[in-house]
Amino acid sequence: MKGNELSLNREKRAEIISSIKDFFQRERDDEVGDLGAGLILDFFIAEIAPEFYNQGVGDAYKYADEHLEDVLSLQKL
């Protein structure tokens, strides 16, 4: 990840685009091409993924903070 940019490797991007296309076919009985699915993915990456990323960072911080004493109890006295 460069700076604040969220990114996917080529294989994962292709996999998610395929999933988006399958979703539209299954749930909406509509066909979306690679370009359309890619644009939808780009929208979610830009607008929604940062919220989930930030939530994950916050959750990790909270977990580490709550378990820090557990780590300190491992010290040899």
Q: Supply the pLDDT for residue 3.
A: 54
Q: Supply the pLDDT for residue 19.
A: 98
Q: Supply the pLDDT for residue 4.
A: 63
Residues of the chain with pLDDT under 70: 1-4
What distance in Å separates the CA atoms of residue 53 and residue 60, rounded to the nearest whole number?
A: 11
What's this model's pTM, rounded to 2 decimal places? 0.74
Q: Supply the pLDDT for residue 1.
A: 45
CB 44 within 8 A of CB 50: no
What distance in Å separates the CA atoms of residue 40 and residue 17, rounded to the nearest whole number?
A: 9
Q: Supply the pLDDT for residue 5.
A: 75
What tokens were used for 28? 């909406």
Q: Supply the pLDDT for residue 2.
A: 47
Long-range contacts of 69-77 (CB under 8 A, 24+ apart): none
Q: Supply the pLDDT for residue 75.
A: 75
What distance in Å separates the CA atoms of residue 47 and residue 58, rounded to the nearest whole number?
A: 18
